[in-house]
Amino acid sequence: MSGRGRGRSLFTFNVDSLGFGRGDALPSSAQAPSPLYPPMQFRPVPLQTGEEVDYMLALKQELRASSKNLPFHIQPRALKKDVARYSDKYQTGENKHREWTPDWSRLPKELCIKDQKLRKTKTKPVVKNKMKSAAPKELLQKLENLEKKEEENQSEEEEGDEEKKKKSGEEEEPDDAEEYDEEEFEEETDYISSYFDNGEGFGGDSDDNIDEATY
Amino acid sequence: MTAQEVRLCSLLLKEHFGEVVEKVGVHLLRSGTLNLRALAHETMTSLDLVKKCLCVLVQHGMSKFGPGRRGPTGPVEYQIICERILYMLRYPRYIYTAKSLYGDTGELVIEEILQRGQMTMSSVVRTVADRLTQNMEDGQSMDYSEVINAFSRLVETHFLQRCPPVDSLEETSSSGTSDAPASKTPQSAQPESNPDCYKLPQIHLSDTEANDKRAKRAKLESTEVCDDEGIYWQVNFERFHLHFKHQAIIAAVASKLDQTSSEIVRTMLRMSEVTTPATAAYTQAVSANEIFRALPTSYNIARPILDQYLTLLVDDPMEFVGKAGDSGGGMFVVSILNKYFNLHRALANLARATLESVVQERFGSRSARIFRLLLRKKHLEQKQVEDFAMIPAKEAKDMLYTLLSENLVQLQEIPKTPDHAPSRTFYLYTVNQLPTARLLLQNCYKTVSNLIERRLFETKENKRLLEKSQRIEAILASLQASGAENTQLAEVEDMITAPERQQLEALRHHINKY
């Protein structure tokens, strides 16, 4: 306690017990992290060898390689290539194992929404086509009826009739598409497109308030 | 989970399932439980990709889901199972075990299921039979029945088990009532709790079909609906681990005592293999009589010799075999001698031996002496360590401090007075076996991660060279197929220069170690 200037008395215990002799200098405190690859005191034990280990090593490499071809290896969305290269053709891996449909009954419902969406978009065009294909038939019948009527009235202008047929067919298609678009729009947004609030309702309220204030 | 585990999991996920799954998986690992929206938002990944990733993870049993904190009506929440991802490191070992136990067919069955997470029995049988047929000579084909046989044997020995059934989440959520908390985590239900866990479904895959032309079969497969639809099988990792533990104990007994005693221990373990749960501390007690009857006759162990061996095993300080009691009276005292295994103690002893050998290899035999001393005497003061280990004081201190700084040895302070003054405090050195074992495990994880990263780095550095060698190999193969002359082949081979060849060999030498 008395010798303030002496290094030893920095500690309240006997430094000798730590293994430093009377005259030894204390090691300086470490201020840098220990080296990344410290020298090894002993040589490491050699790796295990043998048939068993070799086989397992080969298996591991095989598994690693084959896991890339399984559908479980998910690719990030392909980046837009700056230039189409000749070699691209050869670098794309085979995608034959890509398809994989999990058993949705074993998964939460929300995970397979994506699939339903896909189906939706797939089925929609089919419906469209059906409508299209159905429409011309009706149309033809109608036209035929008209034709007969027309024939009764005027037995001429057959060429003009044919033109009409084409025209009306063309007209029908865009109509169809329009109807369809509206449906889709409504489904997606849940808003009624005919309803439009220009925000004037608020103004009316404030007017009322003013009125009230005058009372 | 620790930082090392997360790092290793991330590398493993990336290697097996690609970068996207890695991103999602690591985020789940870091944040614990999350729902789909939060996961997609926080990983800045598109919803569809996240869904795909979750599908992959759930398919492989690496992730589980359940109704979230907001009850059954709230969004489904996902969790990831860290240990399950780390099991990927042991895949080759599982496969090799299956091969050594059940031959090539068993090997392929386990391999297929490991690679796909879960499969129905019919699809496993079909794929494996196809793969075996491919490897056979022309005209021969693998019978389905043989594969079914291997499969059922794997199930009988519990190496395969049914995936636990998933309670339909939609039902509980639509009913909206607060059900029993047990049904809240449909995925986490233990597979063992399912009574049908090891029950094989009846599947009908006609063998005549197997003998048909391959093309025809492929056509049939696409339309065929099997009877075991919806019954999925997964690998029972616990059972494999139990097997590994048993092998370790048998090997330890063989090296400690002799071959015969290890065979006795093997018999005892085999007798209770299926009946003992994986985490049990003891195998079920078996009497000496039963052991005697179960011993394969080829060992030629007479009854009195068996008794002597059993006594020896019980008396051994490693305590692999214990005595449950010698109930019964009169003449049958010896015959109803119950033997049982103290699995935990045996494994703890093995772990201790591993620790000791690690210290020995890394710090030398004298440090190992100090380490063993501390293990045996539990708590020792520094002076006592020096004296008991019979190592000069200065060296002993040096070694002890090195061990302390590596966290293999812990220091316990016991102050005599409440002021913790060092001069009036006992400093006791001790070894805590469990934390130290965990430390070594973490070190191992770190090593594996480092190895993977190193391999990725080396592969990246030498990408061009590897591609070139692959291309040349392909050219060589096609030339050989078309029957080119040797000079031509040599010419192509020379396209890889000598230094390049050296570099390639060095690379393979480094990479193929892991």
**Quick one: B350 and B373 in the same domain?**
yes
What is the residue whose two structure tokens read 């809240």?
B184
Given the structure tokens 């329009």, which residue do they identify?
A178
CATH value at residue B281? 1.10.10.10
Q: Please give, rounded to a whole number of angstroms, the shortest distance from the CA of A119 to a CA of chain B.
A: 14
In a domain, B133, yes or no: no
Strands (E), B208-292: 232-235, 286-287
What φ, ψ does residue B406 adopt, rounded to 5°?
-85, 0
Q: Is residue B25 part of a domain?
A: yes
Mean pLDDT of B29-47: 86
Which pLDDT band holds residue B7 (cuts at 50, 70, 90)? very high
Among the residue ranges B122-126, B127-131, B254-258, B332-336, the one predicted with the least confidence is B332-336
Q: Is B477 exposed, middle or buried (0-12, 13-18, 19+ CB in 10 A)?
A: exposed
Cα-trace Rg, chain A: 42
- Residue A63 has its nearest CB partner, among B17, B49, B91, at B91
CA distance A188 to chain B (A): 17
Structural domain boundaries enclosing B491: 444-513
- Of A117 and B510, the one with more pLDDT: B510
Residue B200 counted as domain residue: no
CB contact under 8 A, B364 and A66: no
pLDDT at B183 over 70: no
Query: What local confidence, expressed as pLDDT, does residue A120 receive?
Result: 39
The answer to whether the CB atoms of B21 and A74 lie below 8 A apart is yes
The closest CB to that of A59, out of B36, B95, B163, belongs to B95
Mutation for testing the A interface, residue in B51, B96, B163, B363 having most A CBs under 10 Å: B51
Asked if residue B216 has pLDDT above 80, the reply is no
d(CA B301, CA A211): 111
Size of interface A-B (CB pairs under 8 A): 119
Q: At what angle do helices B498-511 and B463-481 cross, to 10 degrees?
A: 110
Contact assessment for residue B97 and residue B206, using Cβ atoms and an 8 Å cutoff = no
Quote the minimal CA–CA distance from B333 to chain A in Å.
Answer: 45
Inspect the interface and report whether the beta carbons of A60 and B15 lie closer than 8 Å. no
Query: Rounded to the nearest 5 degrees, what angle is found at the Cα of A104, between the Cα atoms of A100 and A109?
Result: 130
- Average pLDDT over chain B reads 78
How far is the C-alpha of A127 from the C-alpha of A131, rounded, in Å? Answer: 6
Q: Which of B16, B58, B96 sits opposite A55 (nearest CB)?
A: B96
Q: Does A103 touch chain B (CB under 8 A)?
A: yes
User: Which of B59, B364, B422 comes nearest A13 by C-beta?
Assistant: B422
Residues in chain A with pLDDT values less than 70: 1-25, 76-100, 112-136, 154-215
Give the integer Cα–Cα distance in Å for B458 and B306.
56
Q: How near does any CA of chain A get to the CA of B77, in Å?
A: 10
Q: What is the pLDDT of residue A45?
A: 80
pLDDT band at residue B74 under the 50/70/90 scheme: confident
Q: In whole angstroms, give the CA distance from residue A110 to residue B240.
A: 34
The pLDDT of residue B170 = 41
- My answer on whether B319 and B376 are in the same domain is no
Yes or no, beta carbons of A106 and B58 under 8 Å apart: yes
Phi, psi of B317 (to 5 degrees): -65, -20
Q: With contacts defined as CB-CB under 8 Å, which chain A residues touch B55?
A: 102, 107, 111
Mutation target for B interface from A111, A118, A121: give the one with most B CBs within 10 A: A111
Mean pLDDT over residues B165-189, rounded?
42
Flag if B92 and A114 touch (Cβ within 8 Å): no
Neighbouring C-beta atoms of residue B277, cutoff 10 Å = 8
Residue B449: the pLDDT is: 93
- The answer to the question of residue B258 being in a domain is yes
- pLDDT by residue (tens digit) across B136-150? 776 677 778 888 888
> Same domain, yes or no, for B330 and B350?
no
Residues B244 and B326 both lie in one domain: yes
Give the lowest-confidence range in B45-54, B259-268, B310-319.
Answer: B310-319
Residues linked to residue B440 through DSSP beta bridges, in sequence order: none
Within 8 A of B163 by CB-CB distance, chain A residues are 106
Would you say residue B512 has pLDDT above 70? yes
For B174, other C-beta atoms within 10 Å of its C-beta total 11
Name the domain count of chain B.
Answer: 4
Q: What is the pLDDT of residue B219?
A: 40
Residue type, B143: D
User: Which residue of chain A comes nearest to B94, CA vs CA?
Assistant: A56
Determine the pLDDT at residue B96. Answer: 92
Where do runs of H (alpha helix) occur along B364-462?
365-377, 382-389, 393-405, 433-461
Q: How far apart are alpha carbons B162 and B151 in whole angstroms?
A: 12
Nearest to B166 among A74, A106, A112 (CB): A106
In a shared domain, residues B416 and B472: no
pLDDT at B209: 43
Residue A72's closest CA among A113, A102, A105, A92? A102
Is pLDDT above 50 for B119?
yes
Per-residue confidence band for B446, with pLDDT thresholds at 50, 70 and 90? very high
pLDDT at A48: 79
Instruction: Note the pLDDT tens digit of each residue in B318-340.
Output: 667 777 666 533 334 333 334 44
Residue B384 lies in a domain: yes
Q: Which of A29-43, A72-86, B362-376, B496-510 is predicted with the least confidence, judged by mean pLDDT?
A: A72-86
Q: What is the pTM of this model?
A: 0.70
Q: Give the whole-angstrom CA distance, residue A61 versus residue A63.
A: 5
Q: Which of A12-16, B142-146, B291-295, B436-440 has the highest mean pLDDT?
A: B436-440
Mean pLDDT, residues B25-33? 88
Last residue of a domain, one of B306, B334, B362: B334
Residue B109, domain member (yes or no):
no
B209: in domain: no
pLDDT of the residue at B174: 34
Single residue among B274, B303, B334 that ends a domain in this structure:
B334
Which residue in this structure is represented by tokens 């800045």?
A: B44
A122 CA: distance to closest CA in chain B (Å): 17
Q: Tell me the C-alpha distance between B204 and B144, whole Å.
A: 10
Domain membership of residue B177 (yes or no) is: no
Write down which residue in B20, B55, B85 finishes a domain.
B85
Measure CB to CB from residue A59 to each of B20, B46, B96 and give the nearest one: B96
The per-residue pLDDT for range B264-280, each reduced to its tens digit, is 888 888 877 767 666 66
